[in-house]
Structure 1
Amino acid sequence: MGLNLEQIPRVKTISKADFITHYFKPQKPVVIERFIEDWPAYSKWNLDYMKEIAGHKTVPLYDDRPVDYKDGFNEAHATMKMSDYVDLLKREPTKFRIFLWNILKEVPELQKDFSYPDFGLRLMKGLPMLFFGGKDSYTFMHYDIDLANIFHFHFEGKKQCILFDQNQNKHLYKIPHSLITREDINFADPDFDKWPALKNAKGWICDLNHGEVLYMPEGYWHYMRYITPGFSMSLRAIARNPKNLMKALYNVFIMRNYDNVMRRLQGQKWIDRKNQKAITNTNRYLGSD
């Protein structure tokens, strides 16, 4: 038995009105299959092109090691030239990923290859971010600090996406004062004997292919696994739900700073305490549904 996951709806294309009515207002995810075929990026963007245009850049790399109290916020685990990193991706499986790589800052010419689509939401035009990964690399289950609406465009190969909304928090072994679940949960093949509450969680799943875009509503948890080497670009729009906007402000200005202070004061004890609390909090709800 696996997780209780529903396939994310798929459409070929969609109008702004239909997107707002059927997906944004009810806050449901959707995969749009043929939305960017007129972008130069659709035919140009692959790993070889990234190596050609950004091969000289030194890129920050992250893997799946557990959070350490000494790590700074989003502190890289390694660095490498983009050309060497692309060679690594194509040569063998690797846990190393790139995330939150700002196109405008790092390779401004890439912005000529795409446009900002009109979904009826105001996209943050200063924050087009790229994410790269090797075969079988994955992100921890997490949600974004600003609880934004996210449009996730995938290029080259295939990646698997598992989503949960914020109503599922009590089933997911969420770490307090953070944006992640327990890092030792394998969401691709969860151990229900060890993590029984996951049986109660209801979520969504899809495989994203080259040129497809996934809409992730505000605050959705997401786990991404690269089935083949590839990369994606996220465009985001600020949370419109006042409750989510307040949560985002709390996360940025209070929660993150509080967590950093406690790491400095208590070190690994703070991390261990939060990990244990994730189990205690979740077990409290087991059998209550």
Structure 2
Amino acid sequence: MENPDKEVPVVENVTKELFLSEIYPARKPAILRGIELGEAVRTWTPEYLSTTVGSRPVKVHVCPSDKMDFVKKNFAYKNLGFDELVQRASATGPLTEFFYSENEKYYLRALGDDARKDCADFAVQFPEIANDLQLPCYFDDSQFFSSVLRLGSPGIQLWTHYDVMDNVLVQVKGSKRVVLFAPSDALHLYLSSDKSPILDPLEPDLKAYPDYAHAQRWVCTLREGEVLFMPALWSHNVLALDFGVAVNVFWRHLDADMYEKRDPYGNKDPSVAGRALQSLDKSMQSLSALPAEYQQFYALRMMARLREKFCSADADGSGSSEKQESEEDGK
């Protein structure tokens, strides 16, 4: 990698006022400490969760490998009782009951009541434990999009991806390693839709993905009782270091009418961006009618226009300035 890793900054004794006045406007990730999260940090043991929530069925990602690959789909969706999921995911040795192998991994991303229409709402889907957790709400109620319970096995690693909405990841139990990338690094991540094929950002295959060597990694370890703020469009990769339980809260940074209305997962690009990408696909298809040297010439002209319009230092609120800072630091 060309650039040494950056550490995600830690901010102590965070209040709503501090978040809104200093952290949020910077549009960079930060670990937030000192937020009162309620009794969940102390009470959410595997035994408590299993007993309190019970055997209600949930749909779970089950993966024979510890690295989940959304492109190759190396996992399957299975139904388990919540208590059975907790028991398997928190097990410290080989499993006695399993789908694929005694070392398989589990990952729950809670869904809405109707997964095709409803956004996840932690208080609605898990009322038995909702009052245990005090979620930070640093936005107007009208901006709220979803709150997602996440639970996983030690060692499970979620594919690199970005979210189109701002969010906080509230780590209730266990710890995670999180690697993030600024929006300006999109060219180096080989993104397809909102996902990258780079499964392990610390041990990448640079022969397959040589441009990744130019990316700037932001790295942190998120521990129990801490909250990670992740602005929209910051790609991230999450590795569970322990049996983990967390709740993700997403809210709309843009006006509500900028987002796709039929998007319960909140992973579709803003509607105007989606239309622009579709127009680009049509332009590329038009150029394909020309000989190769013409295609390259006009593609480069298009790239030059886009760079001039959108990728100047003034237009880039995070990545360009960060690259400049890196150069000034002797990188």
Task: Please give the TM-score of this superposition, normalised by the length of structure 1.
Answer: 0.74
Runs of 4+ residues deviating >4 angstroms: 1-4, 120-126, 244-247, 251-255
Residue 109 of structure 2 corresponds to which residue in structure 1?
A: 99
Q: CA deviation at 1:116?
A: 4.2
Say if 2:162 and 2:232, in contact at 8 Å, map to a contact too. no
Q: Distance in 2 between matches of 1:88 and 1:2?
A: 40
Q: CA deviation at 1:127?
A: 2.3
Q: Is the radius of gyration larger for structure 1 or structure 2? A: 2
Equivalence map 1:1-289=2 (5 Å): 4-37=4-37, 39-62=38-61, 63=63, 64-67=68-71, 77-91=77-91, 92=93, 94-101=104-111, 102=120, 103-120=122-139, 122=141, 127-144=146-163, 147-175=164-192, 178-182=193-197, 185-240=199-254, 248-250=269-271
- Amino acid aligned to 1:148: M
Q: CA deviation at 1:222?
A: 1.5
**Aligned residue-pair number:** 249
- Amino acid aligned to 1:180: K
Q: CA deviation at 1:24?
A: 1.1
- Amino acid aligned to 2:154: K
Q: CA deviation at 1:171?
A: 0.5
Residue 264 of structure 1 corresponds to which residue in structure 2?
A: none
Say if 2:14 and 2:33, in contact at 8 Å, map to a contact too. no
Say if 1:155 and 1:232, in contact at 8 Å, map to a contact too. yes
Q: Distance in 1 between matches of 2:142 and 2:7?
A: 26
Say if 2:31 and 2:227, in contact at 8 Å, map to a contact too. yes
1:50 counterpart SS class: helix
Q: CA deviation at 1:43?
A: 1.9
Q: Cα gap change, 1:253/1:169 in structure 2, threshold over 3 Å: closer, same or farther?
A: closer
Q: Cα gap change, 1:127/1:76 in structure 2, threshold over 3 Å: closer, same or farther?
A: farther
Q: Distance in 2 between matches of 1:66 and 1:40?
A: 34
Q: Distance in 1 between matches of 2:255 and 2:143?
A: 17
Say if 2:144 and 2:252, in contact at 8 Å, map to a contact too. no
Q: Cα gap change, 1:66/1:18 in structure 2, threshold over 3 Å: closer, same or farther?
A: closer
Q: Cα gap change, 1:203/1:188 in structure 2, threshold over 3 Å: closer, same or farther?
A: closer
Say if 1:172 and 1:198, in contact at 8 Å, map to a contact too. yes
- Amino acid aligned to 1:34: G
Deviations 1:23-73 (A, max 9, x none): 211201111122125x1222222332221122311111114254469x9xx
Q: Distance in 2 between matches of 1:66 and 1:30?
A: 27
Say if 2:145 and 2:251, in contact at 8 Å, map to a contact too. no
1:36 counterpart SS class: coil
- Amino acid aligned to 1:158: S
- Amino acid aligned to 1:36: E
Q: Cα gap change, 1:59/1:2 in structure 2, threshold over 3 Å: closer, same or farther?
A: farther
Query: Percent identity at matched positions?
Result: 20
Q: Cα gap change, 1:188/1:95 in structure 2, threshold over 3 Å: closer, same or farther?
A: farther
Q: CA deviation at 1:241?
A: 7.9
Higher normalized contact order (CA 8 Å, seq sep 6+, divided by chain length) = 1
Q: Cα gap change, 1:198/1:32 in structure 2, threshold over 3 Å: closer, same or farther?
A: same
Q: Cα gap change, 1:217/1:121 in structure 2, threshold over 3 Å: closer, same or farther?
A: farther
- Amino acid aligned to 1:143: Y
For structure 2, the residue ranges without an aligned partner over 5 or more in a row are: 94-102, 112-119, 261-267, 279-302, 304-322, 324-331
Q: Distance in 2 between matches of 1:166 and 1:172?
A: 10
How well do the aligned residues superpose, as a CA RMSD in angstroms?
A: 3.4
2:5 counterpart SS class: strand
1:104 counterpart SS class: helix
Q: Cα gap change, 1:126/1:249 in structure 2, threshold over 3 Å: closer, same or farther?
A: closer
Q: Distance in 2 between matches of 1:51 and 1:16?
A: 33
